[in-house]
Structure 1
Amino acid sequence: MVFAIKEINNSSELLPGVTLGYQIHDACSFVPVAMNVAFQLANGIEPVFFPKQSCSKPATVHAVVGESGSTPSAAMSSILGPFGIPQVSHFATCACLSDKLQYPTFSRTIPSDYFQAAALARLVKHFGWTWIGAVWSDSDYGNNGMAAFLRAAQAEGICVEYSEAFFRTNPRAKVRRVAEVIRRSTARVIVAFIASADLLVLLSELEGMALAPLQWIGSESWVTNQKLFQFHQFAGAIGFGIPRSVIPGLRDFLLDLEPAQVSQSSLLTEFWERAFGCSLRGSQTTAGWKTCDGKQNMRDLQNPYTDTSELRISNMVYKAVYAIAHAMHSIICTDEPHCNSSIRVESWQVTEHLRKVNFSRNGYKVSFDANGDPVATYELVNWQVKDGQMQFVTVGHYDASAPDGQVLIMEKNITWAGGQQQVPVSVCSESCPPGTRKAVQRGRPVCCYDCVPCAEGEISNATDSLDCITCSADYWSNAEKDECVPKPVEFLSFHEVLGIILVACSVTGACMSIMVAAVFYRHRDTPIVKANNSELSFLLVFSLKLCFLCSLTFIGRPSEWSCMLRHTAFGITFVLCISCVLGKTIVVLMAFKATLPGSNAMKWFGPPQQRLSILAFTLIQVLICVLWLTISPPFPNKNMKHYKEKIILECDVGSAVGFWAVLGYIGLLSILCFVLAFLARKLPDNFNEAKLITFSMLIFCAVWITFIPAYVSSPGKFTVAVEIFAILASSFGLIVCIFVPKCFIILFRPEQNTKKHMMGKTALKSL
């Protein structure tokens, strides 16, 4: 402060022709002493006479630099404020001092703890620490600073395992309890918003304990204090410190100190005697000390006083003095370059102009906001051991006024607690990997959680997800639950084993129908073919071939046309088939009645009537299918209800009434055919076809009766497989029961394929 004032008094640019005076008081960081000094400065010691006034006023100061601590500064400001005396502190960081209602004249050159708390929370978040401990001084500085930090930490999602406050004058038992809390904790990172004197007491207690390496995060009050180098457990500590500065000429000013100057100040006298181990006060020579002989030279000393490489707080004092000088310059030097030293300067004027100052000194900008706070800039300081010596190493910078993304800039590698090069881990629970979500543990902070796997159909594709995301309708979660993948599409394909088997059976049945037709055609003139109505037999074989082939339309990816074709083709071909069987049954019955005396039954059911009945039965089914396709036809559908993890491509029947009408009509004809064939089963004929039809229709009805519950309950592509199986089974039942016995006689028992053999049984009975 003295150096800055002398520079200003010798300056031709700042307050030219005006000399600043000063008083220096030591408050000893004690609030009552600070308040006493404040009263002295406000009231003045000696009266000052103004030439144009007939009275004298006390010589109140125009501005005060100090105090260092937040609590003494608050006490002083409550006294100086009502008098309008500006106070500029160089080291009081409590955010409470920004309240202009309580402290209207307070300003400072050091950033408020509000900004430091935000910076510390950002730093903790930057390194991924979510589980920390907190200790602070039980004072205005510590209480307000830690409160601001805890708010900022909560906003960043950081949890505090413990928070302990103490003061250096507390009983040792309380300090020991705080040390025990630290020792038992699981948090590996400690944020210490604490004064250096308080921290010394705590570290002395921790020194004898066996502790795992702890990562200390410090505030500006202690992170650049060399007195703490004696505690080796602090190696690796990081924290925000006041930016270093170089003040040209200060070192020479400090070293140009002579005994004559020293003896005029009790403070300098005490310093000189301790530095050189001699006494300037001969009669008060301390035991063991000799009297100083005047040969002592400050340049021979190597101590913090002569070391001007770490000027941090000193630079804050330097800026405070210059800020006050610039404020006074703007008041009395309105007509530059001359200043009117006769202008009476009021302290409230200094306060008003102080908030408006904006200048740069030694590369640093000085200005204040509406709360009297400067722009928050810090150095990130790391305690590193180099060549066996603890050193402060600047590893980054923090600038609250910088754009987002550039507020905290890391410049060098950090040495962590225990000499580690890797960032220490301090979390309550390990990070939840993708595919899981956080589930908070009951009764514990939000940073303590379990990692719960996402449910089926849900994913989390980021670490530490709070919730799982539900996949869209056409997607499903993969095995790791970290990605939504398209659902597999299921339908009865030509390429799978089941599809190949069904295709083979269908083709086999069609080929079998062709072979039967070929055998019947080649032996069309034989009695067994003629006796069984060859025209209806060929039509039946043709319809059976269509039945076998229509099952192929049920295989493959459903489309709009295939869905309409499969059900209508199935319904029409089966009605054609059953109509032929029904016609053959009626022919058998009519043929028997025609042999009775006076009967003309065949007259009413000859070939034209047979053809007409088949056509009529078939047209009814065609009409049903046309109405079905017109009103609500079948259509391809994605079934996502039966299976959540896959899509079933199926043909929706559209109108359920139309679908069951088609099946019901087939069933009605089948039952009618079965009843007629059953009635004709005992007719006297060696080759009575009614028996074969009865058995075939019994198989047909059994297959389709069992089809209904199997069709309803079968899932996915097996629904289609059941339908194909029913078509093939009933078709094979008809062709095997009706045509295979006849083909066997034609091919392997030709002696039975005679009219005599066919009529043999009837002739014997007539005899």
Structure 2
Amino acid sequence: MHHPHPPPQRYHQLGDLIIGAVVSHGTFISKPITLTEMPPPPLPEDLVILPKNYQHVLALAFAVKEINENPQFLCNLTLGFDIYDSYDDAGRTYQATMLLLSGKERLIPNYLCDIQNNLIGVIGGLESQISMHIATVLDIYKVPQLIYGAATVMNIKTPSLSFYQMVPQEELQYRGILALLQHFSWIWIGLLVMDNDNGERFIQSVVPLFSKNGVCFAFIERITKCNTDNNTVGGIEQASKLKAKTMSSKANVIVLYGESYSMVILRFLPYLSEIEDGTSKLKGKVWIMTAQVELTSLAFQSTWDTDIIHGALSFMLHSNHLPGFTSFVELRNPLDPKEDGFLRDFWQQTFECIFPNSGDKDYGNICTGEEKLDSIHGAVFETRMTGHSYSVYNAVYALAHAVRSMSSIRLKHRTKADIKREKPWNQQLWQLHHLLKGVSFNNSVGDEVFFNHNGELVAGLDVINWIVSTNQSFHRIKVGSVDPQAPSDKIFTLDESVITWNRWFNQAQPLSVCTESCLPGSSKQVKKGKPFCCYDCVPCPEGKISSQKDVNDCKKCSEREYPNKNRDFCISKAITFLSFEDPMGFSLTCLALFFSAITALVLQTFLKHHNTPIVKANNRGLTYTLLVSLLLSFLCALLFIGRPQKVTCLLRQTAFSIIFSVAVSCVLAKTITVVLAFMATKPGSRMRKWVGKRVANSIVTSCFLTQGVFCTMWLASSPPFPDIDMHSVTEEIVIGCNEGSVIMFYCVLAYMGFLAIVSFTVAFLARKLPDSFNEAKFITFSMLVFCSVWLSFIPTYQSTKGKYMVMVEIFSIIASSAGLLGCIFFPKCFIIILKPEWNNREQLIRRLKH
């Protein structure tokens, strides 16, 4: 196929088979396609290109060159290719696609006059929208399309079209970005997307996914594509908008989902800062970029500061160094007429010069053709193969392997009759689809290439750390990978020790949170009207702890543990009870034994002087009974000390209540006896028959039996038992006696209180009787002490917990018993021991008369 004046965008025809490659806008600058039937719209005269994308053409040419130089690969077949520029225009894309299908310069749809050169497939484009336009036409003719850029829009809008993606499935990037954010606990991020269908699709996919996994968005900003005729003004406008959003945000991590030209807009940020503020130092951010974004620049941006992307992390298509590719690129000569039609335009814009015969007088520099590609800034052009170029390289080999397989099948099964009626290649393209789906090979550097059932390349992504040197050269360092074929726990791997962060962070791992971490001992409380990543830190409530940072809710300790002071861990509770070794237990034991000894001495003194008037006065038997009951009450207190056992729990409350009932009833009987004795001395009194031991004994016995009935009912219904109390005292497990029926416990106490009040009332009424013949005044004091002790006991007992409740009860027993002992018997012992001369009948009568 020969043309006297071939269009500059169609070049390098090499042989029988042609691989048509349609390249998206901005890849190279070229003159408009000349079409007779449908003239294209005019192009801007000052069209600006991305020189770096020219490498895609070179990768295509390099792959075709390798295949054609290998005579064993395609026998009797030679690969060739035509390339058209779409100029990001739907009409031009359709026209270029039809030109590839027509096989000639003049476009006559559905007519193919070139039977030597047959189109077998199309590689392109870099942008999803362009690929969709191509696929709409190719699907009619069943021509395979291998896409080396994003295909998100195509997956949504054209599910019935047949195409093959030379990039891994889009969801793999989502999972990789999320894993990266979770690895560094970055939960407050910004999101920048291009304002197109791909960007909206990305937002719809990642926002719910990330939010579900605890990541919030500080902002979501859409970037509008700059017009080709006003790149600088449009770039500055976009940069101003981005700077206001990104630099004012607390988010230190920004995810950039864009196209190949997105970096051009991002590089306007430091330029804008320099012209506005006189400085190019911007607040450092961690940029996380998707595979579609490459470090590209317009030619005039080559001298601009690139520190903004220093320390960025990027998910890139896996690529390998191909031996011979760098030298192949460096040998390109724009003065050689055999070179492709894009090289001269690429050369002029990259080196900002003109060739003498170009007719363009805008540049003052003259291109010599001796300029070195390896001297260009890496953001403008690289001689080492990039990820997209590697995909183009593999796409060529995938088509070549499919053609090889189809040729082998045709040679194997054809006969002489078949040769005569053999169908042209373009009528057997449906077979190529089938072979492409099953293609699997290892390329020249050993990487395996094959597709899944959806026509997506089964491959992983590399996590790349972009490092900018002080001389503004940049390097890519692989720090991790996303491998979909690895075990679930190894899909995402990262070596954070080799990551270089932006200089703003002083090589410390950046934080990106809306709120500083809540320390252990506190929990998060979401701020009303704010994303869930923005919260206040509130201390854990009483009884709860948080041992980790940023917990949503504090948790309770187990029953056998309690929170420490800072409420960040649990401490095992100590098992406690009022033991004899305890200081308070030991003190109360000594106090009880001391008063027991005093009571025993008093009893011995009374027994020794049992025939003296002061002992015989007011019923000697009641006196002995009272002293014995007081002795037992002091000893009864010892039942409350020590580890509670079943027997001690049963005995201590019942024994205490019965003994005290006897003691109080003795006091009551003594008081009533005194009253009856004085009433009986009156002439004609009928009370004489009530005077004697019978009434006193009846009072004591009835009171004793009544309390005994209460205790029996208590023990029969719900007796006390040993129990473990884990809740009343925060830091202790208290072993004590559960009183069983609380109602019966307070009934017993109420009955004793009733007896005490009656005794106090009777004694108070009899307090003015002659002192020498009765104890009413002393009994009044004793019962006042007794009642005061037990009235204060009730609120004190209710307000204390654990072993201190037992201590309060023991102290009340000892104090009330000591009150009775001291107030009633101390005056008598004083007379018996220190004033024996008063202890006779005559002296008592004389004192009475006075």
Contact 2:189-2:218 at 8 Å conserved across structures: yes
Aligned to 2:490, the other structure's residue is in SS state coil
Distance 1:682 1:121 in 2: 94
TM-score, normalising length: structure 1: 0.84
Structure 1 Cα separation of the partners of residues 267 and 433 of structure 2: 41
1:39 corresponds to which of 98, 109, 114? 98
SS in 2 for 1:455: coil
Partner of 1:332: 407
Are residue 478 (structure 1) and residue 564 (structure 2) matched?
Answer: yes
Number of the residue aligned with 1:315: 390
Matched, 1:394 2:463: no
Within 5 A, what are the aligned runs for 1:691-710?
691=776, 694-695=779-780, 698-699=783-784, 702-703=787-788, 706-707=791-792, 710=795
User: 1:624-683, CA deviations, whole angstroms, 9 ceiling, x for partnerless residues?
Assistant: 323321221123556678777877766443334533443454455556656776787677
- Measured after TM superposition, the shift of residue 615 of structure 1 is 5.3
Per-residue deviation, 1:319: 0.9
Q: 2:488 aligns with which of 390, 404, 409?
A: 404
Counterpart of 2:659 in structure 1 is 573
Distance change >3 Å, CA 434–CA 608, structure 1 → 2: same
Q: 2:122 — aligned with what?
A: 64
Closer/same/farther in 2, CA of residues 702 and 442 from structure 1, 3 Å limit: closer
Matched residue count: 752
RMSD: 4.4
Tell me which residue corresponds to 2:605: 519
Report if the CA contact (8 A) 1:382-1:414 is conserved.
yes
- Please state if 1:80 is matched with 2:138: yes
Q: Distance in 2 between matches of 1:135 and 1:725?
A: 76
Structure 1 pair 281/61, CA: closer, same or farther in 2 (3 Å)?
A: farther
Q: CA deviation at 1:566?
A: 1.9
Aligned to 1:51: none
C-alpha deviation, 1:405, in angstroms: 3.2
Find the counterpart in structure 2 of residue 136 from structure 1. Answer: 193
- What is the CA deviation profile of residues 163-186 of structure 1, one whole-angstrom value per residue up to 9, with x for unaligned ones? 132112176374233333334333
Q: Secondary structure at the match of 1:409?
A: strand
**Aligned pair partner of 1:106 in 127, 152, 163:** 163
**625 and 222 in structure 1: CA distance in 2 versus 1, 3 angstrom threshold:** closer
TM-score, normalised by the number of residues in structure 2: 0.76
1:610, 1:201 → 2: CA distance?
111
Moved more, 556-565 or 391-400: 556-565
Cα deviation for residue 568 of structure 1 reads 0.8
State the partner residue of 1:50: none
Please state if 1:731 is matched with 2:814: no
Q: Secondary structure at the match of 2:498?
A: coil
Shift, 1:95, TM fit: 1.9
Q: Quick check: 1:220 aligned with 2:291?
A: yes
Aligned-pair CA distance for 1:86: 0.9
Contact kept in structure 1, 2:622 and 2:670, CA below 8 Å: yes
For residue 97 of structure 2, what is the amino acid of its counterpart?
A: A
Deviations 1:368-405 (A, max 9, x none): 12222112422222222457332222232222332233
Report the Cα distance in structure 1 between the residues aligned to 2:91 and 2:155, rounded to whole angstroms. Answer: 22
Question: Which string of whole-angstrom CA distances, capped at 9 and with x for unpartnered residues, describes residues 133-157 of structure 1?
Answer: 3333334454444554445433443
1:67-216 equivalences under 5 Å are: 67-90=125-148, 92-99=149-156, 101-102=158-159, 104-145=161-202, 147-162=204-219, 163-169=221-227, 172=234, 174-175=237-238, 176-209=240-273, 210=279, 211-216=282-287
CA gap of 1:283–1:150, structure 2 versus 1, over 3 A, is closer
For residue 232 of structure 1, what is the aligned residue in structure 2?
Answer: 306
Structure 1 match to 2:801: 716
Aligned ranges 1:562-601 → 2 under 5 Å: 562-582=648-668, 584=670
Check the 8 A contact 1:333/1:339 in 2, yes or no: no
Conserved? CA contact 2:129–2:154, under 8 Å: no
Give the superposition deviation at 1:366.
0.9
* Aligned mates of 2:678, 2:345 — CA distance in 1: 147
Q: Displacement, 1:546?
A: 0.8
Distance in 2, Cα, partners of 1:658 & 1:525 = 43
Query: What's the secondary structure of 1:452's corresponding residue?
Result: strand
Question: Match of 1:448?
Answer: 534
Partner deviation per Cα, 1:333-376 (whole Å, 9 max, x = no partner): 23888999956542222122211212211211111122221124
Structure 1: distance between partners of 2:383 and 2:791: 101
Q: Partners of 1:37 and 1:89 in 2: how far apart?
A: 16
Q: Report the residue type matching 2:245 in the other structure.
A: V
Deviation, 1:595, is 8.3
Evaluate the alpha carbon distance shift between residue 689 and residue 26 of structure 1 in structure 2; reply closer, same or farther with a 3 A threshold.
same
Q: Which amino acid aligns with 1:359?
A: F
Could you report, residue by residue, the CA deviation over 1:506-559 in whole angstroms, capped at 9, with x for unpaired residues? Answer: 333212211112222333343433445544433321211111222333345555
| Worse overlay, 637-646 or 61-70 | 637-646
Could you say which residue in structure 1 is the equivalent of 2:842? Answer: 756
Contact preservation (8 Å) 2:661, 2:752: yes
Runs of at least 5 residues in structure 1 that lack an aligned partner in the other structure: 48-54
Q: Deviations over 1:424-444 (max 9, x none)?
A: 223221111122222222222
Q: Does 1:353 align with 2:438?
A: no
Shift of the 516–35 alpha-carbon distance from structure 1 to 2, 3 Å rule, reads same
Question: Where in structure 2 are the equivalents of 1:323-722 lying within 5 Å?
Answer: 323-334=398-409, 344-345=424-425, 346-361=428-443, 362-386=445-469, 388=471, 389-411=473-495, 413-418=498-503, 420-473=506-559, 475-486=561-572, 502-531=588-617, 533-555=619-641, 558-582=644-668, 584=670, 614=700, 617-636=703-722, 651-667=737-753, 669-670=755-756, 687-691=772-776, 694-695=779-780, 698-699=783-784, 702-703=787-788, 706-707=791-792, 710=795, 713-716=798-801, 719-722=805-808
> How far 1:87 sits from its partner (Å)?
0.2
CA distance in 2, matches of 1:738, 1:297: 127
Q: Which residue type is aligned with residue 193 of structure 1? A: Y
Q: How has the CA–CA distance of structure 1 residues 285 and 689 changed in structure 2, closer, same or farther, with 3 Å as cutoff?
A: closer
Answering whether residue 266 of structure 2 is matched by residue 266 of structure 1, we say no
Q: Secondary structure at the match of 1:400?
A: coil
Unaligned runs of 5+ in 2: 1-59, 107-112, 274-278
Letter matched to residue 83 of structure 2 = I
Contact in 1 for aligned 2:546/2:554 (Cα 8 Å): yes
Q: Which range moved further: 605-614 or 443-452?
A: 605-614
The CA deviation at 1:300 is 10
Q: Aligned with 1:577: secondary structure?
A: helix
